[in-house]
Structure 1
Amino acid sequence: MPQSEPTTGVQSAEAAPAGPIIRFDKVVKRYGDNVVLRELDFTVDPGERVTLIGPSGSGKTTILRLLMTLETVDGGVIWVDGDPLSHMERNGKLVKANEAHLRRVRSRIGMVFQQFNLFPNMNVRRNITEGPVHSLGVSKDEANQRAEELLELVGLSDKIDAHPTQLSGGQQQRVAIARALAMRPQILLLDEVTSALDPELVAGVLDVLRDIAQSTDITMLCVTHEMSFARDVSHRVMMFDHGQIAEEGTPEKIFGDPQQERTRTFLKAVLEHG
């Protein structure tokens, strides 16, 4: 079914924010009669690390998919670094974005998915260098050097010529993280990146992400059920319920002194099964 034209109260690109790197302005997303996001407003500042928590179906992953333009908004506007992602300016008005505009703004964003999505016919080196060479116009030498640096960062320097089938799930996910970073995004989206891993492999991937969080100024927007990870890396935690932010605050506040009963109930259930 074709998407209806998104509606927005924002009429001019001059309204673009100067500060936040991500801004959701009354964003609506629905699937049929199911409204997943309900006029959602929130911002993320450059370099901020924000974790989204909440029950399945509360809209967390939908937010990441909208930012990656894997889904389209049904209302409102998403801004990325001051530019509208879901819309573009034409004759002083905001209209639905075309593919060229989407690609330009989306190039500032990298995403690591639950499934690793590596190309099975390419070795690790090519998985990491293919995007920078063909999408960014980086030379092969520069892309190779960057791949080597990133593999050292994720602890897989010795696997540069291996194929994905020769790697464990945890190793594949670390390669996927390196591949996302190779595109030099301003924003890194992480969607339950440990959910497909055996429990003994989770810690290694989370350690890599902790290192990245502590050693770079990249903006991170993370969906996870790993509460200890959220506590360690986040500047801010947002609790979602039915497409809205039920509560938000520092990790110390959300995990140590949640104000909303819905947050307390969710955290109790997650921690009991963790």
Structure 2
Amino acid sequence: MIVFDGVEKRFGDHVVLRDLDFTVAAGEHVCLIGPSGSGKTTILRLLMTLEKVDAGTIRVGGQCLSHMERKGALVPADEKHCREVRRRIGMVFQQFNLFPNMTVRGNLIEAPTRVLGLSADEANARAVELLELVGLAEKIDAHPTQLSGGQQQRVAIARALAMRPDVLLLDEVTSALDPELVAGVLNLLRDLGSSTDITFLCVTHEMGFARDFSDRVLMFDAGQVIEDAPPSKLFTEPDHQRTKDFLHAVIDRT
């Protein structure tokens, strides 16, 4: 479902991702772990086309996201091409990013009506269904400012699902939450993972979640994958000393 092939991303002289190769199969749950600044969030930003690659290619569902074909050659993708491929991808951000001037209902129906072309009735029915799924049906006419952080993050997850994505990207979705709200959001994601065939790519510092949720865990350091293994192996018998040091530091701190 996701293929990074020789991807490089630079900001000035700083190389954030270096000759990066990895794949995520359809329906797979993959968590990215590693120290801050190792390039994990940049991967999600490239998939959302918030950043552009400096070298290499990215494919989503067999379609090239970073480039398009023109006269038999691959050239950097234009915005129209990116928008078409990106429709298959949903993202939940750290800071919720809900539209404060809209109700919860408005947040959930805006993109499906404008981008997917759903009727208002269809979008509204989908919004009700998703809010029931995340346990917030009674908040459909509330504004984001009337919700707790955990509730806002649940709405953000529902909004991403409203676009019926094949791929859902999660960027540290519990980092802005009070500790007592974290478990509820992570349990919701576990439920979604077990009840849908969505492909999940998650950046997280929640090692328990990565252990329970993932089919594979990728350890990043200095813009490269240094270890790729099932959680049962990576969290008990990692091969790389850098992985051992990182897990020791993170698990001891928590």
TM-score, structure 1 normalization: 0.92
Question: For residues 209 and 160 of structure 1, what CA distance do their matches in structure 2 show?
Answer: 20
Describe the SS at the equivalent of 1:141. Answer: helix
Residue 160 of structure 1: how far off its partner (Å): 0.6
Q: In 1, Cα distance between the equivalents of 2:121 and 2:253?
A: 47
Instruction: Map 1:107-186; keep pairs closer than 5 Å.
Output: 107-186=87-166
Q: Alignment length, in residue pairs?
A: 254
Counterpart amino acid of 1:149?
E
Report the secondary structure of 1:256's partner residue. Answer: coil
Match of 1:257 in 2: 237
Question: Counterpart in 1 of 2:68?
Answer: 88
Of 163, 175, 179 in structure 2, the residue corresponding to residue 199 of structure 1 is 179
Per-residue deviation, 1:258: 0.8
Counterpart-to-counterpart distance in 1, 2:252 and 2:156: 30
Structure 1: distance between partners of 2:137 and 2:188: 14
Matched, 1:54 2:34: yes
CA RMSD of aligned residues (A): 0.6
Which residue identity is paired with 1:138? Answer: L
Q: 1:105 aligns with which of 81, 85, 100?
A: 85
> What is the distance in 2 between the residues matched to 1:131 and 1:208?
22
Question: Match of 2:192?
Answer: 212
Which residue type is aligned with residue 199 of structure 2? Answer: T
Supply the distance in 2 between the matched residues of 1:81 and 1:163 (Cα, whole angstroms): 35
* CA deviation vs aligned residue, 1:33-62 (integer Å, no higher than 9, x gap): 110000100011100000000000100000
Q: For 2:225, what is the secondary structure of its paired residue?
A: strand
Kindly provide the CA deviation profile for residues 193-242 of structure 1, in whole angstroms up to 9, marking residues without a partner as x: 00011101111111110110010000000000001111111100000000
Runs of 4+ more than 4 Å apart: none
CA distance in 2 between counterparts of 1:120 and 1:89 reads: 39
Instruction: Give distance in 2, aligned partners of 1:273 and 1:22.
Output: 32
Superposition deviation, residue 252 in structure 1: 0.3
Residue of structure 2 aligned with 1:42, choices 12, 22, 40: 22
Specify which of 221, 226, 241 is matched with residue 246 of structure 1: 226
Separation in 2, partners of 1:202, 1:179: 19
Q: Specify the alignment match of 2:207 in structure 1.
A: 227
- Aligned residue number for residue 6 of structure 2: 26
Q: Which residue of 1 aligns with 2:44?
A: 64
Letter in 2 for 1:260: H
